[in-house]
Amino acid sequence: MRHASEIEREEFDALDAAIAEMEKRAAEIRAEGPLPPSSALRNFEPADQVHARLQLSGRGFLRKPSAGIDVKGDGSLVAFRGTVAREELEPEAGETPFDAVRETLSGGGR
């Protein structure tokens, strides 16, 4: 988890436990309220800013699968997969962004 300048790492034995902790942390961050607009060479609205990045890495020998959630400055959640080249995940109808992360890391074929 990266939130402001803080970076935390945790290990979990099960994907469901990691997703549950991710959901809990995202709710805590969203409860802090929106970020103010920012200006650095151009203006950034809260929706353009990443308030926190919650990322999970699965098990693997060479390439560990990775997916997570960006908590945007306006409180919205964006699911993604990958590390350096992140690809945004679109939750299917009735799914949450956390469901999209779970499916990606469990080998659901997204």
For the stretch 8-55, pLDDT in tens is 999 999 999 999 999 999 999 999 999 999 888 889 999 999 999 999
Q: How high is the pLDDT of residue 84?
A: 83
Residue with the bigger pLDDT between 75 and 60: it is: 75
**Which residue type, as a one-letter code, is found at position 84?**
V
Give the pLDDT of residue 51.
95
Q: In one letter, which amino acid is 59?
A: R
Asked if residue 71 is part of any domain, the answer here is yes
Q: What is the pLDDT of residue 39?
A: 87
Q: What's the structural domain count of the chain?
A: 1
- Report d(CA 34, CA 49) in Å as an integer: 10
Domain limits at 39?
A: 2-105
Looking up tokens 């699965």 gives 58
Residue 110 located in a structural domain? no
Asked whether residue 52 is domain-assigned, the answer is yes
55 within domain boundaries: yes
Q: Is residue 12 within 8 Å of 24, Cβ to Cβ?
A: no
Q: How many residues does the chain have?
A: 110
Q: Which helix (H) or strand (E) holds 102?
A: helix 97-105
Decide if 49 is inside a domain: yes
At 101, list the tokens: 């992360």
Give the per-residue pLDDT at 62.
75
Classify residue 98: in a domain, yes or no: yes
pTM: 0.87
